[in-house]
Structure 1
Protein backbone atom coordinates (compact mmCIF):
# COMPACT_ATOMS: atom_id res chain seq x y z
CA UNK A 1 0.00 0.00 0.00
CA UNK A 2 2.90 2.31 0.71
CA UNK A 3 4.29 1.62 -2.73
CA UNK A 4 0.88 2.29 -4.21
CA UNK A 5 0.71 5.62 -2.34
CA UNK A 6 4.21 6.62 -3.41
CA UNK A 7 3.33 5.64 -6.97
CA UNK A 8 0.16 7.78 -6.74
CA UNK A 9 2.18 10.65 -5.34
CA UNK A 10 4.72 10.18 -8.14
CA UNK A 11 1.90 10.21 -10.70
CA UNK A 12 0.48 13.40 -9.16
CA UNK A 13 3.91 15.06 -9.23
CA UNK A 14 4.35 14.14 -12.89
CA UNK A 15 0.87 15.45 -13.64
CA UNK A 16 1.73 18.66 -11.81
CA UNK A 17 4.95 19.02 -13.82
CA UNK A 18 3.00 18.38 -17.02
CA UNK A 19 0.38 20.97 -15.99
CA UNK A 20 3.15 23.50 -15.25
CA UNK A 21 4.58 22.86 -18.74
CA UNK A 22 1.13 23.36 -20.30
CA UNK A 23 0.63 26.60 -18.34
CA UNK A 24 4.10 27.82 -19.38
CA UNK A 25 3.38 26.99 -23.03
CA UNK A 26 0.04 28.80 -22.78
CA UNK A 27 1.79 31.89 -21.38
CA UNK A 28 4.38 31.81 -24.14
CA UNK A 29 1.63 31.37 -26.71
CA UNK A 30 -0.27 34.34 -25.26
CA UNK A 31 2.85 36.54 -25.24
CA UNK A 32 3.60 35.58 -28.84
CA UNK A 33 0.02 36.32 -29.89
CA UNK A 34 0.20 39.75 -28.21
CA UNK A 35 3.47 40.51 -30.03
CA UNK A 36 1.95 39.38 -33.33
CA UNK A 37 -1.17 41.48 -32.73
CA UNK A 38 0.94 44.54 -31.87
CA UNK A 39 3.05 44.06 -34.99
CA UNK A 40 -0.05 43.63 -37.15
CA UNK A 41 -1.69 46.71 -35.63
CA UNK A 42 1.45 48.78 -36.27
CA UNK A 43 1.51 47.58 -39.85
CA UNK A 44 -2.16 48.45 -40.38
CA UNK A 45 -1.69 51.89 -38.81
CA UNK A 46 1.23 52.59 -41.12
CA UNK A 47 -0.77 51.51 -44.19
CA UNK A 48 -3.71 53.68 -43.12
CA UNK A 49 -1.40 56.66 -42.52
CA UNK A 50 0.11 56.25 -46.01
CA UNK A 51 -3.36 55.99 -47.52
CA UNK A 52 -4.53 59.17 -45.79
CA UNK A 53 -1.36 61.03 -46.80
CA UNK A 54 -1.91 60.06 -50.43
CA UNK A 55 -5.55 61.08 -50.18
CA UNK A 56 -4.55 64.46 -48.68
CA UNK A 57 -1.88 65.03 -51.35
CA UNK A 58 -4.42 64.28 -54.08
CA UNK A 59 -6.92 66.68 -52.49
CA UNK A 60 -4.26 69.36 -52.15
CA UNK A 61 -3.17 68.92 -55.75
CA UNK A 62 -6.74 69.11 -57.05
CA UNK A 63 -7.45 72.30 -55.11
CA UNK A 64 -4.15 74.03 -55.80
CA UNK A 65 -5.43 75.22 -59.17
CA UNK A 66 -8.48 76.67 -57.46
CA UNK A 67 -6.27 78.75 -55.20
CA UNK A 68 -4.28 80.09 -58.14
CA UNK A 69 -7.49 80.90 -60.02
CA UNK A 70 -8.90 82.72 -57.00
CA UNK A 71 -5.66 84.69 -56.70
CA UNK A 72 -5.85 85.71 -60.37
CA UNK A 73 -9.49 86.80 -60.01
CA UNK A 74 -8.61 88.83 -56.91
CA UNK A 75 -5.69 90.45 -58.71
CA UNK A 76 -7.93 91.45 -61.62
CA UNK A 77 -10.57 92.91 -59.28
CA UNK A 78 -7.88 94.85 -57.43
CA UNK A 79 -6.53 96.27 -60.66
CA UNK A 80 -10.04 97.37 -61.74
CA UNK A 81 -10.62 99.07 -58.36
CA UNK A 82 -7.24 100.81 -58.56
CA UNK A 83 -8.10 102.10 -62.03
CA UNK A 84 -11.48 103.40 -60.76
CA UNK A 85 -9.84 105.19 -57.83
CA UNK A 86 -7.19 106.72 -60.09
CA UNK A 87 -9.91 107.93 -62.48
CA UNK A 88 -11.94 109.47 -59.64
CA UNK A 89 -8.79 111.16 -58.30
CA UNK A 90 -8.04 112.62 -61.72
CA UNK A 91 -11.64 113.83 -62.15
CA UNK A 92 -12.03 115.44 -58.71
CA UNK A 93 -8.48 116.62 -57.97
CA UNK A 94 -8.96 120.20 -59.16
CA UNK A 95 -12.26 120.67 -57.33
CA UNK A 96 -10.83 119.36 -54.03
CA UNK A 97 -7.74 121.57 -54.28
CA UNK A 98 -9.94 124.61 -55.02
CA UNK A 99 -12.14 123.88 -51.99
CA UNK A 100 -9.10 123.51 -49.74
CA UNK A 101 -7.56 126.75 -50.98
CA UNK A 102 -10.87 128.59 -50.59
CA UNK A 103 -11.11 127.44 -46.98
CA UNK A 104 -7.56 128.51 -46.23
CA UNK A 105 -7.40 131.78 -48.18
CA UNK A 106 -10.93 133.13 -47.97
CA UNK A 107 -11.32 133.53 -44.26
CA UNK A 108 -14.11 135.69 -42.93
CA UNK A 109 -13.27 136.81 -39.43
CA UNK A 110 -16.13 136.63 -36.97
CA UNK A 111 -16.45 136.43 -33.26
CA UNK A 112 -16.92 133.07 -31.70
CA UNK A 113 -20.46 132.46 -30.62
CA UNK A 114 -19.40 131.95 -27.01
CA UNK A 115 -17.63 135.26 -26.89
CA UNK A 116 -19.88 137.97 -25.46
CA UNK A 117 -19.52 141.65 -26.14
CA UNK A 118 -18.68 143.73 -23.12
CA UNK A 119 -20.75 146.76 -22.77
Structure 2
Protein backbone atom coordinates (compact mmCIF):
# COMPACT_ATOMS: atom_id res chain seq x y z
CA UNK A 1 0.00 0.00 0.00
CA UNK A 2 2.91 2.32 0.70
CA UNK A 3 4.23 1.81 -2.82
CA UNK A 4 0.80 2.54 -4.21
CA UNK A 5 0.62 5.76 -2.18
CA UNK A 6 4.16 6.61 -3.20
CA UNK A 7 3.25 6.07 -6.85
CA UNK A 8 0.10 8.18 -6.44
CA UNK A 9 2.11 10.97 -4.86
CA UNK A 10 4.73 10.66 -7.58
CA UNK A 11 1.98 10.82 -10.23
CA UNK A 12 0.49 13.89 -8.56
CA UNK A 13 3.90 15.59 -8.43
CA UNK A 14 4.49 14.87 -12.11
CA UNK A 15 1.03 16.18 -12.97
CA UNK A 16 1.75 19.32 -10.94
CA UNK A 17 5.05 19.80 -12.79
CA UNK A 18 3.26 19.35 -16.12
CA UNK A 19 0.59 21.84 -15.06
CA UNK A 20 3.29 24.34 -14.04
CA UNK A 21 4.96 23.89 -17.44
CA UNK A 22 1.63 24.45 -19.21
CA UNK A 23 0.96 27.58 -17.15
CA UNK A 24 4.48 28.89 -17.84
CA UNK A 25 4.06 28.24 -21.58
CA UNK A 26 0.69 30.01 -21.52
CA UNK A 27 2.26 33.01 -19.79
CA UNK A 28 5.10 33.13 -22.30
CA UNK A 29 2.64 32.81 -25.16
CA UNK A 30 0.53 35.63 -23.74
CA UNK A 31 3.59 37.90 -23.30
CA UNK A 32 4.71 37.10 -26.84
CA UNK A 33 1.23 37.85 -28.26
CA UNK A 34 1.15 41.18 -26.37
CA UNK A 35 4.51 42.16 -27.83
CA UNK A 36 3.36 41.17 -31.32
CA UNK A 37 0.13 43.13 -30.88
CA UNK A 38 2.06 46.22 -29.74
CA UNK A 39 4.47 46.07 -32.67
CA UNK A 40 1.59 45.51 -35.09
CA UNK A 41 -0.34 48.45 -33.61
CA UNK A 42 2.77 50.62 -33.80
CA UNK A 43 3.25 49.65 -37.44
CA UNK A 44 -0.39 50.44 -38.26
CA UNK A 45 -0.14 53.80 -36.49
CA UNK A 46 2.97 54.72 -38.46
CA UNK A 47 1.33 53.70 -41.74
CA UNK A 48 -1.78 55.74 -40.90
CA UNK A 49 0.34 58.74 -39.92
CA UNK A 50 2.30 58.54 -43.16
CA UNK A 51 -0.86 58.30 -45.26
CA UNK A 52 -2.38 61.32 -43.51
CA UNK A 53 0.84 63.29 -43.95
CA UNK A 54 0.80 62.48 -47.67
CA UNK A 55 -2.84 63.56 -47.91
CA UNK A 56 -2.01 66.82 -46.13
CA UNK A 57 0.97 67.49 -48.40
CA UNK A 58 -1.18 66.82 -51.47
CA UNK A 59 -3.89 69.15 -50.13
CA UNK A 60 -1.30 71.80 -49.32
CA UNK A 61 0.27 71.51 -52.76
CA UNK A 62 -3.10 71.75 -54.52
CA UNK A 63 -4.08 74.83 -52.55
CA UNK A 64 -0.71 76.57 -52.55
CA UNK A 65 -1.42 78.28 -55.87
CA UNK A 66 -4.79 79.52 -54.71
CA UNK A 67 -3.26 80.91 -51.53
CA UNK A 68 -0.70 82.85 -53.54
CA UNK A 69 -3.35 84.24 -55.89
CA UNK A 70 -5.55 85.25 -52.96
CA UNK A 71 -2.57 86.94 -51.29
CA UNK A 72 -1.77 88.81 -54.52
CA UNK A 73 -5.39 89.96 -54.83
CA UNK A 74 -5.39 91.17 -51.21
CA UNK A 75 -2.11 93.01 -51.75
CA UNK A 76 -3.50 94.69 -54.87
CA UNK A 77 -6.70 95.71 -53.10
CA UNK A 78 -4.71 97.10 -50.17
CA UNK A 79 -2.54 99.13 -52.52
CA UNK A 80 -5.62 100.56 -54.28
CA UNK A 81 -7.19 101.56 -50.94
CA UNK A 82 -3.92 103.07 -49.76
CA UNK A 83 -3.63 105.13 -52.94
CA UNK A 84 -7.24 106.31 -52.52
CA UNK A 85 -6.62 107.37 -48.92
CA UNK A 86 -3.45 109.21 -49.95
CA UNK A 87 -5.34 110.99 -52.73
CA UNK A 88 -8.11 112.08 -50.34
CA UNK A 89 -5.49 113.28 -47.86
CA UNK A 90 -3.78 115.38 -50.52
CA UNK A 91 -7.12 116.86 -51.62
CA UNK A 92 -8.41 117.77 -48.16
CA UNK A 93 -5.33 118.64 -46.11
CA UNK A 94 -5.44 122.36 -47.03
CA UNK A 95 -9.14 122.59 -46.15
CA UNK A 96 -8.59 120.97 -42.75
CA UNK A 97 -5.63 123.21 -41.90
CA UNK A 98 -7.65 126.31 -42.94
CA UNK A 99 -10.62 125.25 -40.75
CA UNK A 100 -8.34 124.67 -37.75
CA UNK A 101 -6.61 128.02 -38.19
CA UNK A 102 -9.96 129.81 -38.59
CA UNK A 103 -11.18 128.33 -35.31
CA UNK A 104 -8.00 129.20 -33.45
CA UNK A 105 -7.12 132.60 -34.95
CA UNK A 106 -10.46 134.17 -35.72
CA UNK A 107 -11.96 134.62 -32.28
CA UNK A 108 -14.93 136.91 -31.80
CA UNK A 109 -14.95 138.28 -28.27
CA UNK A 110 -18.36 138.16 -26.59
CA UNK A 111 -19.73 137.74 -23.11
CA UNK A 112 -20.60 134.33 -21.91
CA UNK A 113 -24.28 133.57 -21.97
CA UNK A 114 -24.31 132.69 -18.26
CA UNK A 115 -22.85 136.01 -17.25
CA UNK A 116 -25.52 138.29 -15.75
CA UNK A 117 -25.27 142.01 -15.98
CA UNK A 118 -24.74 143.69 -12.65
CA UNK A 119 -27.27 146.36 -11.78
CA UNK A 120 -29.84 145.33 -14.26
Q: How does 1:86-101 map to 2 (within 5 A)?
A: 86-101=86-101
What are structure 1's unaligned runs of at least 5 residues? none
Query: How far apart, CA to CA, are the structure 2 residues paired with 1:110 and 1:75?
Result: 54
Q: How does 1:64-83 map to 2 (within 5 A)?
A: 64-83=64-83
Query: How far apart, CA to CA, are the structure 2 residues paired with 1:61 and 1:118?
Result: 86
Query: How far apart, CA to CA, are the structure 2 residues paired with 1:65 and 1:118?
Result: 82
Q: Give the TM-score taking structure 1 as reference length.
A: 0.83
Deviation of 1:55 (Å)? 2.0
Query: How far apart, CA to CA, are the structure 1 residues paired with 2:3 and 2:101?
Result: 135
Q: What residue in structure 2 maps to residue 18 of structure 1?
A: 18
Deviation of 1:30 (Å)? 0.8
Residues 59-68 or 77-86, more deviating = 59-68
DSSP 3-state at the match of 1:21 = helix
Query: How far apart, CA to CA, are the structure 2 residues paired with 1:42 and 1:30?
Result: 18
Q: Give the TM-score taking structure 2 as reference length.
A: 0.83
Q: How does 1:1-119 map to 2 (within 5 A)?
A: 1-119=1-119
